[in-house]
Amino acid sequence: MLGAPGDGWRIAMALLGFERGISTLGQQMQFTHELEWVAQAARDNGSSRDVLVRQRIARAWAGLRVMRANALWMLAGAAQAGADGGTALQREALIYKYYWSNWHRDLGQLALDVLGPLANVLDAGETGDGRRTRLQQMALFSRADTIYAGTNEIQLNIIAERGLGMPREARGQS
C-alpha cells in the first residue's frame, strides 16, 4: 500500500504529474527528429520555396520550443511540489497532453502537405532511407494522439475544472 487508505487518487495524480513530466523530454527528442525529417523533405522536393510551407515549419519549430519551455516549467513545479510535500498536478501538467497531441497532429498534416501527392503512395524503397514511409506513418499515427489517454474534449474539461476552477460538467446518474 502506498500512502494512507483513501489516498489513492492523490497518489495517482502525483504519479501522473511525474510521468507527464519526465517522459516529455524523450518525446520531444522524437518530435525534433520528425520536424527535421519534414524540413529535409521540404528542402529535397522544393516545397521549402513556398512561403506558407516555410511559415508552417517555423511555427512547428516555435511550437516545439514552447513545448520544451512548458515541460521544463512543469518539471520544476513538480520537483518543488514534491519538495514541499505536495502531490497536486501543476497547471502546466494539465495542459501538456492537449498541447503536444495537437501540435503533433498538425506536424503530421504538414508532413503530408510537404510530401504532396507522394504522401498517398507507398515508398517501395526508391528513396533509399525510408524517410517518406516514416513521415507517412508519423502523420497517420499522430491523428490518434488527440484520442488516446484522454480525448481533446476530456483534456479541455480537466483544464477547465482542475486548472481554472470552473464548475464540474454535469455527469449522468450511476
Q: Which three cell numbers stand for residue 24?
A: 516529455
- Say how far apart CA 68 and CA 64 lie, in whole Å: 6
Task: Output DSSP code: residue 170.
Answer: P
Q: Catalytic: 169?
A: no
Q: Which three cell numbers stand for residue 115?
A: 510530401
Q: Provide the total of helices (H) and of strands (E) in the chain, helices listed first.
A: 5, 0
Fill in the amino acid letter for 83.
A
Q: Of these residues, 19, 92, 126, 169, which one is catalytic?
A: 19
- Residue 13: partners with Cβ closer than 8 Å, 6 or more residues away: 87, 88, 89
- Which of 116, 95, 100 lies closest to 164 in space, CA to CA? 95
- Which of 128, 80, 73, 76 lies closest to 95 in space, CA to CA? 73
Active-site residue numbers? 19
